[in-house]
Amino acid sequence: MIDPSDTITSEEELRTIYAQPAKPVREKAFPHLDKHSRRYLELSPFFCIGSSQPDGLGDVSPRGGEPGFVHALDDTHIAFPDRPGNNRLDTLLNILHRPAVGLLFFLPGVNEMLRINGRALITRREDLMQRFLHDGKRPRTVVVIETCEVYFHCSKALRRSDLWNPDKRISKGGFPTLGQIARDQLRLPVPSRLIDFALNQDAKKNLY
């Protein structure tokens, strides 16, 4: 455990360790989308969304789809479909209580990321539901976000991780399957291969 006396508790303390950001870094966040952030959205197939639980505990959830599955509605609003998941509804419930969210978009092969901070709402407005039809299947809901800060994140994190390097991928069997994890954590009295089969079937049948 960390002793409270060993913790940093003020910005002043932090600034004795970290320099002030350069002027271009301080001024790179804009309240609206531009041509570069719009293009990134058109190409990106994946992002993570951060939200806060009612008690203040942070939460993050992945979202994925075809490239461009997040749409720019105008210069200050984006929207994405909520597809079938595990029905915990963590992010959606958080939005109902605390609409402030942060999104981090990734583009495979590109080391820079796109960050968008804003306020979210959940809707089933028909034109938006129709906008996100996939093979005739409607999303469960649509999340609309009013952008407050839009900016590109530097490449250092992805360069350090070498995330896009195919030689760094973990080989099959190098990490337990979700079926194995679920069997161990929940102490399920069934073989992990059956759990994995059920999970794979669900992913095939209920992807959209």
pLDDT digits (tens, 9 = 90+) for 89-110: 999 999 999 999 999 999 999 9
Nearest CA to 32 out of 153, 147, 115 is that of 147
- pLDDT band per the 50, 70, 90 thresholds, residue 83: very high
The whole-number pLDDT of residue 56 equals 93
Residues sharing a CB contact under 8 Å with residue 34, sequence separation 6 or more, in sequence order: 150
**Rounded mean pLDDT of 105-128?**
98
Element holding 157 (H helix, E strand)? helix 156-161
CA-angle at 191, arms to 187 and 180, nearest 5°: 65
Q: What pLDDT, on a 0 to 100 scale, did the predictor assign at position 144?
A: 98
pLDDT interval class at 172 (50, 70, 90) = confident
Structure confidence at residue 19 as a pLDDT band (50, 70, 90) = very high
Which residues are CB-neighbours of 8 under 8 A, at least 6 positions away? Answer: 14, 17
pLDDT for the residue numbered 21? 92
Confidence of residue 180 (pLDDT cuts 50, 70, 90): very high
**Summary mean pLDDT of the chain:** 96
Q: What is the pLDDT of residue 200?
A: 93
Residue 1 has pLDDT above 90, yes or no: no
Residue range 22-163, CATH number = 2.30.110.10
Positive or negative: CA dihedral 158, 160, 163, 164:
positive
Kind plus residue range of the DSSP H or E element containing 159? helix 156-161
Amino acid identity, position 199: L
> What is the C-alpha radius of gyration for the chain, rounded to an integer number of angstroms?
20
Beta carbons of 12 and 77 less than 8 angstroms apart: no
Q: Do residues 63 and 48 make contact, with C-beta atoms less than 8 angstroms apart?
A: yes
Instruction: Give the closest residue to 147 by CA, choosing from 105, 118, 113.
Output: 118
> Given a cut of 90, is residue 194 above it in pLDDT?
yes
For the chain, the domains span 22-163, 170-208
49, 78 Cβ separation under 8 angstroms: no
Please choose, from the candidates 43, 37, 130, 46, the residue with its C-alpha nearest in 3D space to the C-alpha of residue 75: 37
As a whole number, mean pLDDT of residues 186-202 equals 94
The answer to whether 103 touches 48, Cβ cutoff 8 Å, is yes
Where helices occur in 21-124 by DSSP H, the ranges are 23-26, 35-43, 90-97
Cα gap 129→144, rounded to integer Å: 11
Residue 142 has pLDDT above 90, yes or no: yes
The band of 82, judged by pLDDT with boundaries at 50, 70 and 90, is: very high
pLDDT on residue 188: 93
